[in-house]
Amino acid sequence: MKEDEVALLKARIAELEHRVKISQQTLRQYALIKRKHKEALDFLNSQKRFTASIIESSSHAVIAINHQKRVVLFNGAAERIFGYTKKEMLNKDTLHLIIPPKYYKDHVRAVDHFLKTGESIGIIGGRVELEGQRRDGTLFPVRIGFGVGENNGKRVIIANIEDITKERRQSQMMQQHNKLAAMGEMIGAIAHQWRQPLNTLATAVQNLELDYAEGLLCDEQYVKEFIQKNKQIIKFMSKTIDDFRSFVRIDTEKESFDVMEATQDVVNMLSAQLNHHGIKVSVRGESFLFKGYRSEFQQVIMNLLSNAKDALLQADVVEPTVTVTISKGKIEVCDNGGGIDESVLPRIFEPYFTTKKEQGTGLGLYMSKMFIEEHMGGTLEALNRGDNACFVIHLRVKDKVHV
Ligand SMILES: Nc1ncnc2c1ncn2[C@@H]1O[C@H](COP(=O)(O)OP(=O)(O)OP(=O)(O)O)[C@@H](O)[C@H]1O
Ligand SMILES: [Mg+2]
């Protein structure tokens, strides 16, 4: 072989070796990419399984619908809560089975609007309390959180639904408990309220015999006065009972009521008892009309007055006073019993929080806050003003000031 041929061959071999090297490198890179791809896929799948197991093990029902309004997710809790199986619900437009008819129209409107425009009507990202419908047709209270997600590039709407039947029942129980306590207090107040007029009536009746003996019963004027005076007493006693009945009643419908009148009725019922303890109560300011649950509002006033009375009896102040000041949309109940201990102030609205040992249930302020804030959309706050403990209720009113 010639020298130049040898050189050429060597050059070829070198080139081939170089190519082999590059191919080997490419192969190695390819294998690496393949491995990374598999790892990524495995990771994605494990994430998917992880998410699915979170959703499946959740105690809340998790339901999602796609852009065609078909149910694409219906977890185990949803099956338990609503009584339908995944098989019955999935891949079909089946939400009408679990949404009560009264909400269904609004639901369709909100979903259509969102799917078309991407705009929420305010519930996505938020939480609402509504009702759900079980397979047997019964309705139950639910708290729903809405969110949005994507499935294969298309929008899905996700609902996270909590069955709050137990929570509601517990809250109703607490409500009843507090109502009973307030009624007990009221009955005590009525006993006080009646003691004096009953004594007067009893004395008047006892004196009838004497009056007869003295021939007074033939005196028309005397008899008229006798009747008039005692009728007045009976009227007062019967008013106490009427006020009490309106207080005991459980309101089912909101009504427009005069806030000062409703407050005054409670104060009247308690006045004899408060007087007995030397406590002065004054209701002042300008009244307004509010649409809400009258007896729940009265229960709040009752709780605040009862707390003020307890504080005043404990504080032993010279001139124990409770002042209720009313102005449009605002009711303030203040007492000069020394104020609320700063160390307990942050906790007084917690359920069962009391500093009165066995004497208190600790539900008074918790229920009051719930009535005002959740049932009437207002606020109830506590603050100290010097030696005075003040409770401030704010109510949203649209009405004109009513005098
Ligand atoms: N006017 C007030 N002055 C001082 N402390 C108060 C006043 N009102 C409430 N508190 C404090 O707040 C606590 C909670 O009040 P809340 O009405 O919820 O329960 P309670 O009065 O202890 O029990 P219940 O209302 O069932 O009799 C009271 O125990 C008391 O320590
Ligand atoms: Mg109380």
Tell me the per-residue pLDDT of 217-267, one tens digit each, with 9 for 90 and over: 888 898 899 899 999 999 988 888 888 887 777 777 889 999 999 999 999
Q: Does the Cβ of 353 fall within 6 Å of ligand 1?
A: yes
Please tell me the number of the ligand nearest to residue 311's CA.
Answer: 1
The whole-number average pLDDT for the span 20-48 is 93
Query: How far is ligand 1, taken at its centre, from the CA of residue 355, in Å?
Result: 7
Q: Please, which pLDDT band fits residue 119 given cuts at 50, 70 and 90?
A: confident
The identity of residue 87, as a single letter, is K
Q: Does the Cβ of 335 fall within 6 Å of ligand 1?
A: yes
Q: What is the pLDDT of residue 216?
A: 82
pLDDT tens for each residue of 61-110: 999 999 899 999 999 999 999 999 999 999 999 999 999 999 999 889 88
Burial (CB count within 10 angstroms: exposed 0-12, middle 13-18, buried 19+), residue 108? middle
Which atom number of ligand 1 is nearest to the Cα of residue 365? Answer: 18
Please state, rounded to an integer, the average pLDDT across all residues of the chain. Answer: 90
Question: Could you tell me if 295 and 335 are in contact, meaning their C-beta atoms sit under 8 angstroms apart?
Answer: no
Q: Residue-wise over 181-198: b if at least 16 C-beta within 10 A, else e?
A: bbeebbeebbebbbeebe
CATH of domain 57-163: 3.30.450.20
| Domain ranges, ordered by start, for the chain | 57-163, 168-394
Q: What is the pLDDT of residue 403?
A: 40
The whole-number average pLDDT for the span 149-165 is 89
Burial (CB count within 10 angstroms: exposed 0-12, middle 13-18, buried 19+), residue 317? middle
Residue 303 predicted with pLDDT over 70: yes
Query: How far is ligand 2, taken at its centre, from the CA of residue 197, in Å?
Result: 29
Q: Please, which pLDDT band fits residue 128 given cuts at 50, 70 and 90?
A: confident
Residue 400 predicted with pLDDT over 70: no
Residue 399 predicted with pLDDT over 70: no
Residue 43 predicted with pLDDT over 90: yes
Q: What is the pLDDT of residue 121?
A: 64
Q: Does the Cβ of 389 fall within 6 Å of ligand 1?
A: yes
168-394 and 57-163 share a CATH fold: no
Q: What is the pLDDT of residue 175?
A: 83
Q: Does the Cβ of 302 fall within 6 Å of ligand 1?
A: no
Q: How far is it, in rounded angstroms, from Cα 307 to Cα 382?
A: 12
Which atom number of ligand 1 is nearest to the Cα of residue 355? Answer: 29
Residues around the ion ligand 2 (C-beta < 5 A): 307, 364
pLDDT tens for each residue of 273-297: 899 999 999 999 999 999 999 989 9
Please tell me the number of the ligand nearest to residue 389's CA.
Answer: 1
DSSP letter at 397 equals -
Return the best residue to mutate from 309, 348, 361 for the ligand 1 pocket (most ligand atoms within 8 A of CB). Answer: 348
Question: Could you tell me if 91 and 72 are in contact, meaning their C-beta atoms sit under 8 angstroms apart?
Answer: yes
Query: How far is ligand 1, taken at its centre, from the CA of residue 310, in Å?
Result: 8
pLDDT tens for each residue of 330-350: 999 999 999 999 999 999 999
Q: List the structure tokens of 171.
A: 């809250």
Please tell me the number of the ligand nearest to residue 340's CA.
Answer: 1
Q: What is the pLDDT of residue 122?
A: 64
Q: What is the pLDDT of residue 178?
A: 83
Residue 41 predicted with pLDDT over 90: yes
The whole-number average pLDDT for the span 382-392 is 96
Query: How far is ligand 1, taken at its centre, from the CA of residue 385, in Å?
Result: 17
- 190 versus 395: which is more confidently predicted? 395
Residue 308 predicted with pLDDT over 70: yes
Q: Does the Cβ of 355 fall within 6 Å of ligand 1?
A: yes
Query: How far is ligand 2, taken at its centre, from the CA of residue 246, in Å?
Result: 21
Residue 49 predicted with pLDDT over 80: yes
Cα 50–chain centre separation = 34
Residue nearest to atom 11 of ligand 1 (CA): 348
Pairing of strands 321-327, 280-285: parallel
Q: List the structure tokens of 247.
A: 């207080």
Q: How far is it, in rounded angstroms, from Cα 370 to Cα 351?
A: 10
Cα 279–chain centre separation = 33
- Three-state DSSP at 78 gives helix
Query: How far is ligand 2, taken at its centre, from the CA of residue 364, in Å?
Result: 4
The whole-number average pLDDT for the span 155-184 is 88
Query: How far is ligand 1, taken at its centre, from the CA of residue 381, in Å?
Result: 13
Residue 302 predicted with pLDDT over 50: yes
Question: Could you tell me if 339 and 326 are in contact, meaning their C-beta atoms sit under 8 angstroms apart?
Answer: no
Among 43-52, 297-306, 391-400, name the one with the lowest average pLDDT.
Answer: 391-400
CATH of domain 168-394: 3.30.565.10
Return the best residue to mutate from 365, 366, 367 for the ligand 1 pocket (most ligand atoms within 8 A of CB). Answer: 365
Query: How far is ligand 2, taken at its centre, from the CA of residue 286, in Å?
Result: 26
The whole-number average pLDDT for the span 395-401 is 71
pLDDT tens for each residue of 357-374: 888 889 999 999 999 998
